[in-house]
Amino acid sequence: MVKPLLAAGSVIDGFRLEEPVHRGGMATLWRVTRGDIETPMLMKVPHIAEGADPAAVVSFEMEQMIVPRLLGPHVPKCFGVGDFAVQPYIVMEQITGKSLLSRLGDLPLPYAEVADIGVKIATALDDLHRQHVVHLDIKPSNIMFRATDEAVLLDYGLSHHEQLPDLMQEEFRVPFGTAPYMSPEQLRDIRNDPRSDLFALGVLLYFFSTGQRPFGESESLRGMRRRLWRDPPPPRQLREDYPLWLQEIVLKCLEIEPAWRYPTAAQLAFDLAHPDQVKLTQRAERLTRDPWTVALRRRFNTDLKAPRGKAPVSAQLHSAPIVAVAIDLEAEPAGVNDALRLSAQRLLAMLPSARLACLNVRRLGRIALDTTLDAQGHSKQIDRLVGLRHWAAPLELDERRLTVHVLEAVDPAAAILEFAENNRVDHILIGARQASVVRKLLGSVSAKVAAEATCSVTVVRPPRPSAL
């Protein structure tokens, strides 16, 4: 029997209850302290009195299992959990920043700000998915921002962890989530697809950039099921100045079939961070919804309603990495660029959902004034962008899988490392230059990248010359 211990001044497992901060329908949040912990903390205590919603109890059990396993700046730190036999609770770090919910009164937000918010949330989702968790309840009230500007995802009671039992799915056969943000597959009781979170983020981007929800305010299950076959009005129907690149991104997130969306949160964050690189399709130009004939075909297409087999979250991420290849365009170093192209071709052939980012670094002088034009008056930036596309042309990639970037830096290795870190790159391909006096004295770019990168790095050398 759970004892009524909830009163200011009570001590539970060393945590002193100071004051209630929020009382919701499923739990109460208390501000708590403990002598050996300086971090501000909150204790979440579920409502489990007689007649309590069984789903709320199971949801809290899921959160107790998932939250202690999570690490990193995009999740609240967990300090302890309490047994249901005595007093169930979760003690978490209190995030002192601002909630995204506080911005609802400012909608619609400027497009650049919406994209910036989207990058931060997508980055947080990528970090969460890499920890084998699908959130399944992305909405403004579950997103906060630290003083250091990282997005923090809250409330894991509806989440799916691929390495833990899914009690919500085992014990209930109804969809759970927040109605305006639920993906079509969630309505079919599919809980293991990380692209469900990208759908919810698409809803959020649509809402924050137009001021209207893509599927209206309906909370009925019947109304929600229309999104299994009916697409939302394109944002450009609501706002004439809506950017083509942002509509392309938002409508791709809101595709009915998960396979038509971004394969990973990292790829979504990449496009939001590089709007000039977004490849536009017919989505970008649309002013009206799909015709009723198309909607009716979806409505009666049983394939769209069929349950999908369980695919691990990690498998989805591994099949769609972001690959960066660093290319030296100024001096062909003994065939290394050809070897880089061959390595990229082999890697991309095995990963048909991978993205390739081609990089070139224009080294700046430490003291001398750099010019943007060459001796013939051509733009160095444009010439290099053209050169990168020329290098990539033999790969015959779908243009939606390719981006090109010219970086400017005094230290080329540092520029490559910063690009990889900021854009969630999974794999770097870089050529090794031939031995030289400068390389021996200062070290090579490839060696520094390989030593300091937080992702996989392949250093490519040209093939050995054939013996005569």
What is the pLDDT averaged over residues 252-270? 96
User: Per mean pLDDT, which range of 81-95, 354-368, 371-385 is the poorest?
Assistant: 371-385
State how far the Cα of 237 lies from the Cα of 209, in Å rounded to an integer. 13
Integer-rounded Cα radius of gyration of the chain: 25
Summarize pLDDT for 288-341 with one digit per residue, the tens. 988 878 777 877 775 555 545 555 688 888 889 999 999 998 755 558 899 999
What is the pLDDT averaged over residues 236-263? 96
Identify which of 44-53, 152-161, 212-221, 313-322 has the greatest average pLDDT: 152-161
State how far the Cα of 121 lies from the Cα of 277, in Å rounded to an integer. 20
State how far the Cα of 439 lies from the Cα of 443, in Å rounded to an integer. 5
What is the pLDDT averaged over residues 18-32? 90
State how far the Cα of 189 lies from the Cα of 205, in Å rounded to an integer. 24
Q: Give Cβ neighbours of residue 253 (< 8 Å, ≥ 6 apart).
A: 198, 199, 201, 202, 203, 205, 261, 262, 268
Nearest to 59 by CA among 233, 177, 195: 177
Band (197; pLDDT cuts 50, 70, 90): very high
Nearest to 178 by CA among 162, 154, 161: 154
Summarize pLDDT for 400-422 with one digit per residue, the tens. 999 999 999 999 999 999 999 99
Crossing angle of helices 195-210 and 265-273, in 10° steps, is 30
- Cβ proximity of 226 and 215 under 8 Å: yes
Q: Which domains occur in the chain, in start order?
A: 11-93 (3.30.200.20), 99-317 (1.10.510.10), 321-460 (3.40.50.620)
User: Per mean pLDDT, which range of 38-42, 73-77, 209-213, 336-340 is the poorest?
Assistant: 336-340
DSSP string, 115-140: HHHHHHHHHHHHHHHTTTEE----SG
Average pLDDT, the chain: 88
Q: Would the pTM of this model clear 0.95, i.e. be above it?
A: no
